[in-house]
Amino acid sequence: MTTSTETAKHYVPEDLPTHIRHYINGEFVDSVGGKTFDVLDPVSNRNYATAAAGQKEDIDLAVAAAREAFTNGPWPKMKPRERARILNRIADAVEAQEARLAELETFDTGLPITQAKGQALRAAENFRFFADLIVAQFDDAMKVPGSQINYVNRKPIGVAGLITPWNTPFMLESWKLAPALATGNTVVLKPAEFTPLSASLWAQIFKDAGLPDGVFNLVNGLGEEAGDALVKHPDVPLISFTGETTTGQTIFRNAAANLKGLSMELGGKSPCVVFADADLDAAVDSALFGVFSLNGERCTAGSRILVERAIYDEFCEKYAARAKNIVVGDPHDPKTQVGALVHPEHYEKVASYVEIGKSEGRLLAGGGRPEGLPEGNYIAPTVFADVAPDARIFQEEIFGPVVAITPFENDDEALALANNTKYGLAAYIWTQNLTRAHNFSQNVEAGMVWLNSHNVRDLRTPFGGVKASGLGHEGGYRSIDFYTDQQAVHITLGTVHTPKFGA
């Protein structure tokens, strides 16, 4: 049975804000019209603060500040080393606040504290990485001796609109903020309305690091209000969005009128494929962590586990036994492995899929609220076996601690099952056969593949998906490409030879 931690206490960090404001042109401000929305914590589901609810007029002010800072401010014109120094100071500040950041992130999202701590360090590393990258960046030059030279001039594009999700929000904000700022753009950040707490910390971090006013602006609010206004704003040429696919489709439509640059990392229903020759214990470890870490609220979750028939029963038995022992409870307790889902709305969505799964698969573990946790957005790690490929829990993104296990007979069937969804973000493949591993990875419809490993990733590699899982890639030089214009400059060396029309 899934174990739970003590429920008597509800940890509340000290010095919590009771009101979260926008940050525009170096100042904390409320919405022009005074609108607010409530912010709750996922353990008690009680409101602990209000947040300014951005509307079109608030986005207009933020974009105007960002545009002024881009057009007339020093940031885009700074030498890369000067910007890099500020980015490294930002990283220093994030690392210095690791404990506080993790505490607030856990309180706001319900993520286990041990997993939230790692997010702060990863956020700092994103800033250090892009500080290094822009100093080392060089552009191409092509020449024909004695005839011509052509070179590429990279330029920041302008105001980047960044729309971020509520799962590991602080770290995922850093994925966008670091490259956008490193390349000389100014930004307007619209964080997820469920989790605005940690995003509010960026303002002071940036100010203390010496980022000029107007370069970073933050507008809280609902996606259909603040987010929609940011996407449609004619002075925002770039939108980077991480979130679910339906919202991504709406952004795609709304960005079309102004032909905006788009980078979108969307939903996933990633396969974890386990062949009979795999290191079974390692595969079980990875397949458990891959769907139950971060409360299952992770885009790259391997939530469809495909297992070769020869080891299917053994795998299911081991997997279910481990899932039943996962510690669910107070997110601030270091023993907790699965905390509370982010919001009651999301809890109801995941709980509804658990009920659907009971008619679509054989329930091996979980199946509802854990014992001893009568309040809060808790769902026990839930395992369904014998799930058909047309089942909803096989096809649809649940974004919670719920997994579907399906058997396969051979390599061809495994590949067909792996590719049998509209999504294509990640894939995990477990086999000792090197030829199979590489052939399978190259044929699976996924933007990222992990072979006999779990989520190890070099920041230089592209991050993104195919099909309904995204548009474009970021990470490393792909981020530099997205946040800059590449202007080709051509020069003739020597006599200009042009046809003399009309001579």
Query: For residues 285 and 213, what is the distance between their CA atoms, to the nearest angstrom?
Result: 47
Tokens of 154: 């990279």
Closest C-alpha among 355, 406, 409 to residue 382: 355
Taking the C-alpha atoms of residue 277 and residue 394, their distance in angstroms, rounded to an integer, is 24
CA angle (233 as vertex; 227, 237 as ends), nearest 5 = 105
Phi then psi dihedrals of residue 33, to 5 deg: -90, 0
- Choosing from 265, 297, 397, 474, the catalytic residue is 265
In whole angstroms, give the CA distance from residue 15 to residue 481. Answer: 41
Q: How far apart are the first and last CA of the chain?
A: 91
**Cα(328)–Cα(178) distance, rounded to whole angstroms?**
34
Distance CA 22, CA 372 (A): 39
Sequence-distant (≥ 6) Cβ neighbours of residue 152 within 8 angstroms: 139, 140, 141, 486, 487, 488, 489
Is the Cβ–Cβ distance between 378 and 371 less than 8 Å? Answer: no
Strand 382-385 relative to strand 402-408: parallel, antiparallel, unpaired? parallel
Q: How many CA atoms lie within 13 A of 63 on its CB side?
A: 24
DSSP structure class, residue 427 = E
**Interatomic CA distance for residues 3 and 320, integer angstroms:** 14
The single-letter DSSP state of residue 482 is H
Q: Are 462 and 476 in contact (CB under 8 A)?
A: yes
How many angstroms separate the CA atoms of 67 and 235, rounded?
Answer: 7
Q: Are the C-beta atoms of 405 and 384 separated by less than 8 Å?
A: yes
CA–CA gap between residue 418 and residue 303 (Å, rounded):
11
CA 272, 278, 284 angle in degrees (round to 5)? 55
To the nearest 10 degrees (0 to 180), the angle between helices 98-109 and 80-96 is 70
Is residue 480 within 8 A of residue 140, CB to CB? The reply is: no
**Any catalytic annotation for residue 27?**
no
Taking the C-alpha atoms of residue 267 and residue 247, their distance in angstroms, rounded to an integer, is 10
The Cα 337–Cα 335 span in angstroms is: 6
Which of 74, 47, 38, 32 is CA-nearest to residue 219? Answer: 32
Instruction: Name the residues annotated as catalytic.
Output: 265
